[in-house]
Amino acid sequence: QVQVVESGGGRVQAGGSLRLSCTASGIIFSIRDMAWYRQAPGEQRELVASISSSGSTKYADSVKGRFTISRNDAKMTLYLQMTSLKPEDTAAYYCNVDRARGVLPSDNYWGQGTQVTVSS
């Protein structure tokens, strides 16, 4: 059974930093793309950053230069280093994992989310 668990959220003042982690377990083959999404109250879930199995990264314009996504495949862990946080970064942050399944199509898993609150 695949599980995806995020951690590292919390409350921080504007200008501060947080590091989110996401660990996947129960995966036999390998992980393909991994990504962080976020969802603020009343808003749609949006992509924050993604990283491919080869290490290619993409960022939402709103976080470029402030957030850094990285992964450790040996630990099946995804990270999001967030700096210069702004009140508009306040949201629940979700980890998304695309699991390879050999000859079968990959499937996709979400974590339960971790709350980030940035006060002004």
Residue type, 97: V
CB 98 within 8 A of CB 34: yes
Structure tokens at 17: 């930093």
- Per-residue confidence of the chain (120 residues) as pLDDT tens digits? 889 999 999 999 999 999 999 999 887 678 899 999 999 999 999 999 999 999 999 999 999 999 999 999 999 999 999 999 999 999 999 999 998 888 888 889 999 999 999 999
Give the contacts of 63 (CB within 8 A, at least 6 positions apart).
Answer: 48, 49, 82, 89
Give the CA dihedral 105, 76, 27, 24, nearest 10 degrees.
-100
Q: What is the pLDDT of residue 24?
A: 93
Strand-pair partners of 64:
none
Structure token digits, residue 36? 């962080």
